[in-house]
Amino acid sequence: MRAFLNFAATALLSALALAPRIVAAQGGPPPLPPLGAPPIPASNPQTPAKIALGQALYWDEQLSITGTVACGTCHMPRAGGNEPRTAQPNSASVNPGSDQLFGSNDDIVGSMGVANHDADGLYQTSALFGMAPQVGTRQSQSAINAAYPTTLFWDGRAGSVFVDPITQTTLIANGGALENQALGPVVNGVEMAHTARTLLDVATRVAGVRPLRLSPYVPPALQSWIANRDYPTLFAEVFGSNEVTPARIALAIASYERSLIANQTPHDLQSLTQAEVAGRQAFQQAGCARCHGGPLLSDNDFHYIGVRPQNADPGRFAVTANNADRGRMRTPPLRNVELSAPYFADGRFRTLEEVVDFYNRGGDFTAPNKDPRIVPLGLNAQQRAAIVTFLKRPLTDPRAQNETGPFERPMLFSESPYLPQPASAGTPGLGATTPRLFAAEPPLAGSSEFTIGVDRGRALAAARAVLSLSDPTSADAPAVLTQNFALTSSGSGSMHLALPNDANLQGVTLYLRVFVEDAAASGGWSSSNSVSFQLLEINDEVFRQGFED
């Protein structure tokens, strides 16, 4: 009933807001209203400098322990503010779900963060992922237009009060969900952190690094604002003193996010084709707008709609402990939804066609609290296609898609050719397992702590990392550097390599492979896959020390 009233109120508002000519021309339900400016909390006013600082922090991979994951890694404008890697078929971004088995029905297409790291910045095997980057249990939601909802996340656990995590002072009494959210990922051991990383560790890191130093490209406006200054100086311009605190990091990132408003879709500009107007009508007639109504195309309420068995993900129940909330998820806004595949909290569907088919059959699972509006809809092929048409171009802001205007952004190190690239495959050892080498950190010339990890090797075996000018094929290959270490009883290991700082190696491609002593392998060693990279010449002391602390 409440939802119906919302819908009626929304329809009324939009009818008032729009020219009668347009309402009359289509003859169906009134158009959905356009998106106005977002609310700004009074105690965190927007300033151009704060937005710029937030943009730098949001795109700075140095906020992660590996130097390879920024907020933006999982929230790209061209992917509708979501995670672009998960849209690839067969993407490695899979979490095995509650049965912990890969390849079963409850697998989740989630976001890839960092490998499991201990407090010294060495890789640790995780039960599910070994030394590969870990993948969370949910699809990302969009950081675009995230300024509007009063609670964030699929389960709404980021509430609207923002308390300084260090001083415990309430900084924002209402409307601070973005600030609240921003400090989660940086200390999350799956997304950006190592075990036991604290917010103060993050603030110390930020204070010590050159802003966006790893980005191969920074948009000119941001570049000239940063102007070779360090973060404390930038914080001083924005906040009046140079302390880098977790709360200030959150205030700046949230301000930047409040500038990411996708409100220039054809739907907002009322430039829909006839077929698209018909699509919007089909969307409304099918009852979609009852939950995906209003300017965001979301009621910001929680519903269980039968995507998965009710207890596969507790959803809202995790926040309220109310049984009626089991499996309920926050209705996702639908702007830019065309760009943000795969869909639903578990990334179950790759196409909007599949999503509409799902609704047309009334969902796939049921439970006592399933929303009564999720029932077979009896839509014919033409109606289904019309709904999909509406979900595509009409709801896509081309500036987000093309990363222009407010969505223009720094390029990430991990998008650059400097990221260590796969070179060639390894050779198996005992039991025919081939050791896997992971090397993702920026390979900085002279870094004493370039972290590598190996798993799937022989238990307790001796291992040797070989860095060479050509792809090494044996443990005794001519090398720029070799380093011995021992694998654990689980056949894995991690260590820091000291990368050379040698002018002769500038611009030269190097190859890295790990050999594992193994009598059952040909030549007495099994070998990992190899990676290639060029050394990055960045002469800051903090870079030399590596990314661990």
Binding site for ligand HEC (CB under 6 A): 58, 69, 71, 73-75, 111, 113, 136, 138, 140-143, 146, 149, 152-154, 178, 181-182, 185-186, 191-192, 253, 286-288, 290-292, 303, 305, 307, 329, 331-332, 334, 337, 340, 343-345, 352, 355-356, 359, 371, 373-374, 387
Q: Which is nearer to ligand HEC, 356 or 439 (CB)?
A: 356
Q: Which is nearer to ligand HEC, 55 or 111 (CB)?
A: 111
Q: How far is the CB of 113 from ligand HEC (least distance, A)?
A: 4
Backbone angles phi, psi at 446, to 5 degrees: 85, 0
Residue with tokens 């578990």: 346
- In contact, 336 and 80? CB cutoff 8 Å: yes
Q: Which is nearer to ligand HEC, 387 or 514 (CB)?
A: 387
Residue 346 neighbours by CB under 8 Å, 6+ apart? 97, 106, 108, 109, 138, 139, 307, 308, 312, 313
343 conformational bin, left if phi > 0, alpha if psi -120 to 50, beta if neither: beta
The CA-based angle 364-396-302, given to 5 degrees, is: 40
Q: How far is the CB of 325 from ligand HEC (least distance, A)?
A: 12
Q: Which is nearer to ligand HEC, 59 or 525 (CB)?
A: 59
- In contact, 452 and 494? CB cutoff 8 Å: yes
Q: How far is the CB of 193 from ligand HEC (least distance, A)?
A: 10
Q: Which is nearer to ligand HEC, 209 or 253 (CB)?
A: 253
Q: How many CB atoms lie within 10 A of CB 367?
A: 12
Structure tokens at 286: 């099918």
- In contact, 13 and 300? CB cutoff 8 Å: no
Q: Which is nearer to ligand HEC, 292 or 513 (CB)?
A: 292
Q: How far is the CB of 111 from ligand HEC (least distance, A)?
A: 4
Q: How far is the CB of 365 from ligand HEC (least distance, A)?
A: 10
Q: How far is the CB of 491 from ligand HEC (least distance, A)?
A: 27
Q: Which is nearer to ligand HEC, 291 or 445 (CB)?
A: 291
Angstrom distance (rounded) from CA 382 to CA 307: 24
Q: Which is nearer to ligand HEC, 207 or 498 (CB)?
A: 207
Sign of CA dihedral 272, 278, 284, 289: negative
Angstrom distance (rounded) from CA 31 to CA 53: 37
Q: How far is the CB of 29 from ligand HEC (least distance, A)?
A: 14
Structure tokens at 427: 């050779």
Q: Which is nearer to ligand HEC, 75 or 248 (CB)?
A: 75
Structure tokens at 16: 């008032």
Q: How far is the CB of 138 from ligand HEC (least distance, A)?
A: 4
**342 preceded by a cis bond (ω within 30 of 0):** yes
Angstrom distance (rounded) from CA 267 to CA 281: 13
Backbone angles phi, psi at 5, to 5 degrees: -60, -40
